[in-house]
Amino acid sequence: MERLQVIVDTREQMPWAFDPAAVDVSVGTLRTGDYALAGDDRFAIERKSLDDFLGTISTGWHRFVREVNRMQDWAAKVVIVEGDYATCVFLEDDGMLIPPQHRHWLLSPQFVERRIAELTMRGVSVLFARDAHLAAGLAVAILKERSRNME
């Protein structure tokens, strides 16, 4: 398979580090999303830190829904969150519930679950990867599959 030609949106401040033997990266303006294959205007991956994701599904919800609506005719819509799902909700420590380690601690687990369910019903896959390294690997796998589907 050819090397992937990946466009990273100009607004990405600290882009994922991809294997240079497998991925050629260039910076460009994407209408939607943060990472896409060159020449593909019907698929992109949205990257979110855990705090950004939680802010997006709460105070940024209406703006994000408008963005999702712009992708309504896309075959797939993907958000990769750098963080563990368990960190979105409450963590158990010796039988006690403690607030998660993010600034959106007032969001209930049920609220987060409902928003993820709403995104799923809108055709958005929300994937959690512990850190940037794992997220980049997941993104490459998804972009490779997208590339195969385009051939």
User: What are the sequence ranges of the domains in the chain?
Assistant: 4-150
pLDDT digits (tens, 9 = 90+) for 85-97: 887 765 555 544 4
Q: What is the DSSP string of 108-138?
A: -HHHHHHHHHHHHHTTEEEEEESSHHHHHHH
pLDDT digits (tens, 9 = 90+) for 67-82: 999 998 998 999 999 9
- The domain made up of 4-150 has a fold known as Rossmann fold (3.40.50)
Cα–Cα distance for residue pair 54/8, rounded to 1 Å: 23
Q: Supply φ then ψ for residue 131, to 5 degrees.
A: -150, 180
Cα–Cα distance for residue pair 76/43, rounded to 1 Å: 7
